[in-house]
């Protein structure tokens, strides 16, 4: 795969204001929070840098990425992205 060079101002121009079709809304504290889902963020990262990586920063005793309970039904993994 040939790596395309993209300048920072191009990234901001293309991805700085996301397409409204991919922006979700979540009611929180009397306000509407806007968010972009995991799949769309991953797609954007691949389009910007096809060689980006993600690595966990915490592991279980078994060597698996550690997951943290954020609330009664949501788990999170903490990691570091390299773009």
Q: How confident is the model at residue 1 (pLDDT cuts 50, 70, 90)?
A: low
3-state secondary structure of 12: helix
Name residue, tokens 């390299």: 82
Assess contact for 15 and 7: CB atoms under 8 A: no
Query: Domain residues of the chain, as ranges?
Result: 1-51, 52-83
Assess contact for 22 and 4: CB atoms under 8 A: no
User: Helices (H), strands (E): how many in the chain?
Assistant: 2, 6
* pTM attached to this predicted model: 0.67
Q: Which tens digit of pLDDT belongs to each residue from 12-40?
A: 888 889 999 999 999 999 999 999 998 99
């Amino acid at each position: 795969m040939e790596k395309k060079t993209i300048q920072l101002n191009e990234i901001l121009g293309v991805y700085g204001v996301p397409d409204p079709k991919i922006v979700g809304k979540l009611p929180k504290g009397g306000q509407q929070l806007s968010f972009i889902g995991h799949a769309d963020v991953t797609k954007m990262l691949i389009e910007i840098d096809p060689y980006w990586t993600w690595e966990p920063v915490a592991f279980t005793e078994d060597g698996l990425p550690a997951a943290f309970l954020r609330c009664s039904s949501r788990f999170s993994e903490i990691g570091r992205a390299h773009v």
